[in-house]
Amino acid sequence: MKVEKTEDEWRHQLSPEQYEVCRLKGTERAFAGKYWDHKEEGAYRCACCGSELFTSETKYDSKCGWPSYTAPASEEAVTEEEDNTLGLRRVEVVCTKCDAHLGHVFPDGPQPAGLRYCINSASLDFKEKD
């Protein structure tokens, strides 16, 4: 079921940084987010709706300064959309359940899939593995 809220509801729920990233498609500074160098085992969930998006099993150090993953937690977790802002052709990654902007996916990740899901820490919450 899709999560829909007004902009005022999102502003009230999220921190200013989370709102800027998740609802206005902003980007946090490289090497500044709380999860870029995070190594605990568990699940990375959407900061807006709580959906599981990525797991620690697919997280790796891409040296780009943002949390990077080789794949989402499930095919349904994220949606990929064409993004032509900034004069670049990129693929935006959004939460399927609430349309939160998460980051972008690039074709320069490790094999076998060769994908790097470059995700803003501000769009994530972490739940430690039980």
Q: Is residue 22 flagged as an active site residue?
A: no
Count of all residues that appear for the chain in the document: 130
Q: Which residues contact 105 (CB under 8 A, 6 or more apart)?
A: 80, 91, 93, 115, 116, 117, 118
List the catalytic residue out of 22, 46, 48, 118: 118
Say if residue 107 is preceded by a cis peptide, omega within 30 of 0.
no
Question: Do 58 and 71 meet the contact criterion of CB atoms below 8 Å apart?
Answer: yes
CA 119 to CA 9: how far, in whole Å? 23
CA 68 to CA 36: how far, in whole Å? 8
Residues belonging to the active site: 118
